[in-house]
Structure 1
């Protein structure tokens, strides 16, 4: 696979890029918490196969003090007892909204656990975080955003 970007997409369409960045800036101020949002962004990026975004969000998790064990176990979060009920509810919802084709229906089984862990405001903000990272994944994959080797100290 080519590791060269296809197009300088952020420069070709700067207004759309800035609008996406503005959504991210808005959700960054959420009461969801940085670690929870980064776990969700990483998991959605794993599901979508976005190497650039997985790399970025794993780095962000490490910067915020997340352990390698929890990061490495994220793809098996259901089996690993390393995540809180709040994180598990968010990850379930993230997978449900990411795997749309696999889950036609009302998604009540995926939505109901959110109500015990999050306010209505937080549920909507979490849904925006999931929607936005999915959009970023599609742009990064489509435009071949490269993963550049960096030190992971």
Structure 2
């Protein structure tokens, strides 16, 4: 199935996308470690069924040196030995922050405590913003049926680096 709508060819959605991407660059340039950013983005995208974002974050993570083993195990991170405790805390926040409708409390106090144990204020702010932003990005892409497979590593930052 082809995409329903090209978000880059419409003036309103293109203007929105530029501002949305600008928010993404703030997170990209934050002190939150890049591997954590990509793992969190990948996990939320998997949960939301966003092929475009899964494609993007697998390729960006690979280009940044992430191992295939870790990328393959993101979907089952609780059953894997390749993630640090800090990464596990971030992945738990990503899952709970993505599946808000599945739990009455949203993000659990236990997960929040683990996040705060491993991330300082700036990293926590970036992590929370990242979970919110990737969920919004997933929804945009899924609604218009933007497919995965054609993303080239570095395309995101190259398209918006000039601001």
TM-score > 0.5, shorter chain as reference: yes
| Matched residue, 1:126 | 127
RMSD: 1.5
Q: Flag structure 1 segments of 5+ consecutive residues without an equivalent.
A: none
Kindly indicate whether residue 9 of structure 2 is the aligned counterpart of residue 11 of structure 1: yes
| 1:101 to 1:9, Cα distance in 2 relative to 1, 3 A | same
* TM-score between the two structures when normalised by the length of structure 2: 0.86
Kindly indicate whether residue 31 of structure 2 is the aligned counterpart of residue 31 of structure 1: yes
Alpha-carbon offset, residue 40 of structure 1: 0.4
Alpha-carbon offset, residue 121 of structure 1: 2.0
Q: What CA distance in whole angstroms lies between the structure 1 residues aligned with 2:148 and 2:37?
A: 21
Q: Flag structure 2 segments of 5+ consecutive residues without an equivalent.
A: 153-163
- Runs (4 or more) in structure 1 with deviation over 3 Å come to 148-151
Alpha-carbon offset, residue 146 of structure 1: 2.0
| Matched residue, 2:56 | 56
* TM-score between the two structures when normalised by the length of structure 1: 0.92
Post-superposition Cα deviations, 1:16-50, rounded to whole Å, max 9, x if no partner, equal 11110000111111111111100000000001011
Alpha-carbon offset, residue 133 of structure 1: 0.6
Alpha-carbon offset, residue 103 of structure 1: 1.7
